[in-house]
Structure 1
Amino acid sequence: MELEAVAALQGITFQAGDILLIRFGVTETIGQMTGAEQAAAMRSGTMCGLDGSKEMVRWLWNRHFAAIASDNMAVEAMSLIIDGVEQPTYELVLHQWASRQYSFLLTSSPVNFPGAIASPANGLAIL
């Protein structure tokens, strides 16, 4: 299981009630694209994420996470191809988490939109 390998590499021990956050690198990838490229990527129906297998569901259930969040469109995967290369979850996570800081307080703050009555989720990690 790739998530177990990543957790072991990061020195993480999962506990009941943890919030599992997975950084796939989607924000950075989309941010480097032009508007037309972003639109095409969103229409492609491809996105990295967790495998939708019964094994993955069982693994998540047995860890008793309070919530799961990621930086992609949905936590589960669709086929993501960047520069013609399929991107496995494990490699994306290892590549993007160069800071080696894996435990933190997760909170949220509203985005400052003057006159707005709501805000998109704005997750903050306090190290």
Structure 2
Amino acid sequence: MGTHQCCGVHGTEETAKWVWDNHFAAVAGDAIAFETIPPVNPDGEALGIADLVLHQYFLSLFGLPIGELWDLKALSEQCKKSGKYSFLLTSVPLNVPGGIGSPPNALALF
């Protein structure tokens, strides 16, 4: 946390286009951020937090929710235990006008 670095999905316009072309309704991950921090330009230079590509595309342009810090290990263990890997996943953020973040309130229905 002190290094301000974390793993995540490679934040490029190509990644954003792939997510759009594959009709994702939302994205989520179990890392502190969905995309790699710090973002890097094609030359490998580290950029600032304001240069996150996927956050800008997903939230502002696509209206696509981003889930972070999800407990995907527990979900995968439940899938293995039940032998079911298909489920309805719903997540309803808090209804707070002007809010910029919320606990996911996620629920997987097998």
Category of TM-score, reference length = shorter chain: 0.3 to 0.5
TM-score by length of structure 2 reads 0.42
If asked which structure has higher relative contact order (CA below 8 Å, sep 6+), I would say 1
TM-score, normalised to structure 1, is 0.38
Give 1 or 2: higher strand fraction: 1
